[in-house]
Amino acid sequence: MRWLRNNLVLLLGIAVLVYTFIPIFVVVLMSFNDPSSRLIYRFDGFTLHNWLNPCEPEGMCSALRTSMEIGLVATIGSTILGTLMAFALVRHRFVGRSSMNLLIFLPMATPEIVMGSSLLALFVATGFAGQLGFWTILIAHIMFCISFVVVTVRSRLAGMDDNLEQAAMDLYATPQQTFWRVTFPLVFPGILGAALLSFSLSFDDFIITNLNAGNTTTFPMYVWGVAQRGIPMQVNVIGTLMFVIAVLIVVGGEVNSRRRQRALAAR
Amino acid sequence: MASTAGTAPVTTAPASDESDRRRGLTGYILLIPGVVWLALFFVIPFYSLLATSLYDPNGSVFSGYEMTYHWQNYVDAVKDYWQPLLRSLVYGAVATLICLVLGYVLAYAIAFKAGRWKNLMLVLVIAPFFTSFLVRTLAWKLILADDGWVVNALQAVHLLGPDGRLLATPVAVIAGIVYNFLPFMVLPLYASVDKIDHRLVEAAGDLYANPFVGFWKVTWPLSLPGVVSGTLLTFIPAAGDYINAQLLGSPNQRMVGNVIQNLFTDANDYPAAGALSMIMMVGIVAMVFIYVRRAGTEELL
């Protein structure tokens, strides 16, 4: 009884965690489902068919490829722009700091439907209504990823001890050398984290993309389309893969940073 | 996100002091590309949205719109769509409240009780949300389905009538919203709770406060910054969401997002859609400003 009282909060917390995993179990399970009909969405039998023929549903893999291409370019663009901004925010003086903070915060606080519709209004007003597609999606994705990059890189930079940089300067390193040999390697994990976050935000976005996509179909838009007609089980294969890959990356990063910390401690 | 949530407190961050920051042009040069992008594709679009909301409603995308400063679009939008607007507010508020309870338990458990499993638990909090939003929501559709075990169990204990269902009810929509936006609550809450010096809570216990009083008088007030930003970050996307209402609800659960989406893509009624978007935006900006006046802009990020 005493044990229960001491650990009640922890048990409740674990219960909430378990709850967050319920749909994941369903997605993994359904990826092995052998459906009797496309219209009835329930588990009917076990099969490896979906995993062996992931690209069977028409249009799914091309949508997946579109999403990956957009995700990759949007990640590169937003990571560069956001990282530069983060350096300026932490390291440099400039006029208008609080409006800058607001400019970076607002895209994270604006509902996607509002951002998407105003961007669409802009494209229509400037005569780009006919050009909606890959490029307009890309523009939108870079826009809403920048803020998340700034926040992630900024917190890494702000938590960083600048004694190491001072030491490098004292040892006659030029500013360039100090930056590339000391500062950048220290900030890099933050930049990498920001890039991964951007990719997953871009890859998963539906609301803004849907408004500005024209005839281009991304993976979430494909899922939205088939949700009305009957979902091919391969969608769950992709869902499972996304989960597994993301977890592997996060765990890999964690293990790597622990190993580095241990190596530093041993030195 | 997990690795940044628990970064060192500000005292070890010498560079965040204004006097240590470098002067000169470099700062501006670093800012310009990002600021230009945000100005072009985030700020200016609001002007286009405002303009769109004031167009003559008799135009169409194909024939072109005429700017007539038709402010009655707003009156018509509220008159026609007050139900979805109200629904968005209510669903968003209820979902945020449930998220706050669930999220607080989880954040508290991770910060104070998890010990060496802290990092693992933080990773587990965000891990499920790496799967596609839509795929996750479709999984809930299966779980809450009419012949699913949840509905059967609720029918067995008579919480639900024999013909009762969860799908196409507000319950399913709110449950979906709670699930999908939970991390937006947990992470700010965790960042805030984790900063609390646990000795203060122990001190309250030493001074004969029972755990509930100790929590209410010590932990809760100290975690308020996280509560406020978590509430804001959860409520805003929750009220603007329409995926849950579409996949788990029926037309009777339509939220304002569904309406805006329909008006833009199917009905091609841009002025009404613009007006509804503007109404939402003004509401959100008002909330953010109230928050900023209380907390300042540095706390936002």
pLDDT digits (tens, 9 = 90+) for A131-149: 889 999 999 999 999 999 9
The verdict on a CB contact (< 8 Å) between B30 and A155 is no
Query: Which residues in chain B are closer than 8 Å to A141, comparing Cβ atoms?
Result: none
Tell me what the pLDDT averaged over chain A comes to: 88
Secondary structure of residue B133 in the 3-state scheme: helix
- Rounded Cα gap, residues A164 and A178, in angstroms: 9
Contact yes or no for B21 and A93 at CB 8 A: yes
What whole-number distance in Å separates Cα of residue B177 and Cα of residue B245? Answer: 9
The band of A114, judged by pLDDT with boundaries at 50, 70 and 90, is very high
DSSP type of residue A39: S
Q: Quick one: which of A14, A118, A13 has its CA closest to B264?
A: A118
Please list the alpha-helical segments (H only) found in chain A. 2-31, 49-52, 60-91, 97-109, 112-125, 134-158, 163-170, 175-178, 184-204, 207-212, 219-229, 234-266
Q: Which tokens belong to B227?
A: 């509560």
Distance CA B270, CA B73 (A): 10
> What does the buried/exposed string (b/e) look like for A220-250 if buried means 16 or more CB atoms within 10 Å of the residue's CB?
bbbbbebbeeebbbbbbbbbbebbeebbebb
**Which residues from A are below 8 Å from B15, CB to CB?**
90-91, 157-158, 160, 162
Tokens coding B213: 């009083």
Chain A partners within 8 Å of B3 (Cβ): 189, 193, 253-254, 257
Residue B101 near residue A13 (C-beta atoms within 8 A) = no
Q: What is the DSSP letter of A246?
A: H
**Cβ neighbours, 10 Å, residue B191:** 21
Q: Please indicate if any CB of chain A lies within 8 Å of the CB of B140.
A: yes
Distance from CA of B278 to the nearest CA of A (A): 8
Interface of B with A in 220-279 (CB under 8 A): 232-233, 236-237, 239-243, 247, 256-257, 260-261, 264-265, 270, 273-274, 277
Q: Distance between terminal CA atoms of chain B?
A: 13
Residue ranges of the alpha helices (H) in B109-223? 118-126, 133-143, 149-156, 170-194, 198-206, 211-214, 220-222
The closest CB to that of B301, out of A10, A104, A238, belongs to A104
B34 to chain A, any CB pair closer than 8 A? The answer is yes
Question: Two tokens at B91?
Answer: 């669903």
CA distance readout (Å), B196 to A63, A155, A244, B9, B202: 46, 19, 34, 11, 11
Query: For A16-60, what is each residue's pLDDT tens digit?
Result: 999 999 999 999 998 898 887 666 667 778 888 889 888 888 889
* Interface A-B: count of C-beta contacts within 8 A: 323
Chain A residues touching residue B48 (CB < 8 angstroms): 118, 121-122, 124-126
Question: Which position has the token pair 């179909």?
Answer: A217
Do residues B244 and B137 make contact, with C-beta atoms less than 8 angstroms apart?
Answer: yes
Cβ of A26 within 8 Å of Cβ of B142? The answer is yes
Specify the amino acid at residue B69.
Answer: Y
Q: What is the pLDDT of residue B17?
A: 57
A267 CA: distance to closest CA in chain B (Å): 22
Structure tokens, B134? 């839509």
The per-residue pLDDT for range A227-236, each reduced to its tens digit, is 888 888 889 9
Answer for the pair B75, B154: CB distance below 8 angstroms, yes or no: no
Complex prediction ipTM: 0.88
- Per-residue confidence (pLDDT) for residue A267, from 0 to 100: 64
Phi, psi angles (nearest 5°) of residue B55: -70, 160
Q: Can you tell me the distance from the alpha carbon of A165 to that of B22, in angstroms, rounded to the nearest whole number?
A: 14
Q: Cα–Cα distance between B66 and A91 in angstroms, integer?
A: 48
Helix (H), strand (E) at residue B235: helix B224-240
Portion 169-208 of B in contact with A at CB < 8 A: 179, 182
Chain A partners within 8 Å of B51 (Cβ): 121, 125
What string of pLDDT tens digits covers the 301 residues of chain B?
A: 333 433 333 333 444 456 677 777 888 999 999 999 999 999 999 999 999 889 877 777 666 677 777 788 888 888 889 999 999 999 999 999 999 999 999 999 999 888 888 888 888 888 888 888 999 999 998 888 887 788 888 888 878 877 778 888 899 999 999 999 999 999 989 988 988 888 888 888 888 888 888 888 888 888 888 888 889 889 999 999 999 999 999 888 899 999 999 998 888 888 999 999 999 889 888 887 787 777 665 555 5
User: A12 to chain B: nearest residue by CA?
Assistant: B105
Contact criterion met (CB < 8 Å) for B110 and A154: no
Cα–Cα distance, B54 to A131 (Å, whole number)? 24
Beta-carbon separation of B280 and A207 below 8 A: no
Kindly list the residues from chain A whose CB atom is less than 8 angstroms away from the CB atom of residue B288. Answer: 105-106, 109
Q: Is the dihedral of CA B8, B11, B17, B19 positive or negative?
A: negative
φ/ψ bin of B145: left (φ > 0), alpha (ψ from -120 to 50), beta (otherwise): beta
| Torsion B92-B93-B97-B103 (CA) sign | positive
Using the predicted structure, report yes or no on whether residue A65 has a pLDDT greater than 80. yes
* Cβ contact A230:A36 at 8 Å: no
DSSP string across B90-117: HHHHHHHHHHHHHHHHHHHIIIII-GGG
B153 to chain A nearest CA, in Å?
16
- A240 and B106 within 8 Å at the Cβ level: the answer is no
Give the tens place of pLDDT for each residue, A181-205.
888 888 998 999 899 999 999 999 9
A255-264: average pLDDT: 80
Q: Given B10, B33, B130, which is nearest A81 (Cβ)?
A: B33
Chain A hits for B7, CB-CB cut-off 8 Å, are 155-156, 158-159
Closest approach of B94 to chain A, Cα-based (Å): 17
SS3 category, B255: coil
Q: Phi and psi dihedrals of B266, rounded to 5?
A: -100, -50
Which of B10, B179, B277 has its CB closest to that of A117?
B277
Closest to A204 (Cβ–Cβ): which among B26, B38, B133?
B133
pLDDT in tens, A201-251: 999 999 999 999 988 999 999 999 988 888 888 899 999 999 999 888 888
Give the distance, in angstroms, between the CA of residue A182 and the centroid of all CA atoms in the same chain: 27
